[in-house]
Amino acid sequence: MPRIASGKRYAQAAFELAMERNELESWQVSLRKIAELSTDEAFTALVENPKLPFEVKKSLLEERLGDINPLALNLACLLVSKGRLGIAGDVLHGYDHLLDAHRGIEHAEVVTALSLDEKDKERFSSQLGDMVNRKIIVDAVVDSSVIGGFKAKIGDMLIDGSVRNKLEILRKSLIGVGR
């Protein structure tokens, strides 16, 4: 199973639990702690060692994570027992997206040939937000193959204003004229 897909499943389950218990922020903080802990490769290797008893793994997690949501601790233990603590960052990312969607915030992946500064991101956020009548957070990606302009993906909607796309449309129309 791909990493991101399984991370989304865990995130969905965590979000549903958080909604039921009205603990959205508590879960977000707890998942962030777990994700930060998962970046410690030495610790991850230690707790995912099959020779280490589960109770020792659990006590190490409790000690390193401190005061977190008890059900989030159970999730951390589950990830460790399955050797999947490394996907904790994907779980947090998925949870954050679900929480933003719950709050009426959409994420837009904006691809440009050059990197965007904060002012550019705010401008894209405002213009795309006006198009979909929602608050937009811009996730900027640099891809020199777009040549110029931009491509934006908001949910299932794709806006392609790239120079590469315009050149491709021109090429197709010129081929059609020659026939």
**Does the pLDDT value for residue 5 go beyond 70?**
no
CA distance 107 to 124: 11
pLDDT of residue 89: 95
| Mean pLDDT computed over 129-150 | 90
133-154 mean pLDDT: 91
Q: Does residue 80 surpass a pLDDT of 90? A: yes
Q: What is the pLDDT of residue 109?
A: 92
What is the rounded CA–CA span in Å between residue 154 and residue 169? 22
Condensed to tens digits (0 to 9), the pLDDT of residues 10-67 reads 999 999 999 999 999 999 999 999 999 999 999 999 999 999 999 999 999 999 999 9
Domains of the chain with bracketed CATH: 3-100 (1.10.520.20), 114-177 (no CATH)
* pTM of the full structure: 0.75
* Share of residues in the chain with pLDDT > 90 (%): 74
Q: Which amino acid is at 72?
A: A
Q: Where residue 3 falls among pLDDT bands split at 50, 70, 90?
A: low
In the structure encoding, which two tokens stand for residue 136, read together? Answer: 């937009």
With a cut of 60, say whether residue 74 has pLDDT above it. yes
**Proportion of the chain above pLDDT 70, given as a percent:** 96
Round to whole Å and give the CA distance between 63 and 60.
5
**pLDDT at site 4:** 56
